[in-house]
Amino acid sequence: MSTSKKHHTGAFGIDIGGSGIKGAPVNLKAGEFAADRVRVPTPQPSTPEQVATAVAEVVDSFDLPKDIPVGVTFPAVIQHGVARSAANVDDSWIGTNVEKVVAKTTGRSVHAVNDADAAGYAETLYGAARGEAGTVLIATLGTGIGTCMVVDGTLVPNLELGHLELDGFDAESRAAESARERDELSWEGWAERLQRYFRHLEDLLWPDLIVVGGGVSKKHAKFLPLLDLRTPIVPAELRNDAGIIGAAALAAHAAKV
């Protein structure tokens, strides 16, 4: 990693994942990185102390003002800064205050948020749902299904709608992108499962727009047109940048409240 430091202002976003920890300063007016992101491998074991040290390494690779808001995405349910679950990171995170641990190593004010919530919120500010009023539902199709709901610009946190029971199954075990690969489904076969899942969400939530994210969203033309929903459904736009951008935006918002 480069040791050269660049001076940037604005908000800073960190995306903590099972394999990598990525961060960048974010231009909140444009909704894009203000400098190239820095990535370091997620330590193994991925304990709170080890991960927080790695986060500090990413933050310290930039010359940032001490008062810059820092947002952190985390693969867990986050209640008031505390991780209530842990996906792809060490179980010792459960019950740990993510904000306090990271604040201690970075010496900064930190706002933590679920990774799907961060990515979805970014899409409503700068991406596929920009300017959309009412209820926006964002579903990230990957190993599981991450979900996010934003109502008139306000995030409703920690909606684990990938775990809805559907036809006797945990929905994500049937409709996630990993299920398509595992069961060797055709696009049409997978679309039938997505149809069932998204129709169920429609009937429960009546969203005004559904945004589909995850790596498979690049191939949206192969499956979104096969769905017959009453709600407009569109691919996400920000892709891998969404988590960092959303975390930074939410941190800036929290700093103003």
CATH 3.30.420.40 in the chain is located at 11-117, 128-237
pTM of the model as a whole? 0.93
* Paired tokens of 210: 């559904």
Looking at residue 4, its pLDDT comes to 42
Looking at residue 257, its pLDDT comes to 66
Q: Write down the mean pLDDT value for the chain.
A: 94
The whole-angstrom separation of Cα 54 and Cα 176 is: 30
The domain 128-237 having CATH identifier 3.90.470.20: the answer here is no
- Strand 78-79, strand 11-16: pairing: unpaired
* Paired tokens of 202: 């429609």
Is residue 170 classed as helix, strand or coil in its secondary structure?
A: strand
The whole-angstrom separation of Cα 95 and Cα 98 is: 9
For 186, half-sphere exposure in the C-beta direction (CA atoms, 13 angstrom radius) is: 4
Length of the chain in residues, anyone?
Answer: 257
Write the burial class of residue 195 (CB in 10 Å: 0-12 exposed, 13-18 middle, 19+ buried).
Answer: middle
Sequence-ordered alpha helix ranges (H) in 63-141: 98-106, 115-126
* Paired tokens of 214: 């995850």
Looking at residue 8, its pLDDT comes to 44
Given a cut of 50, the residues of the chain with pLDDT beneath it are: 1-9
> Which fold would CATH assign to domain 11-117?
Nucleotidyltransferase; domain 5 (3.30.420)
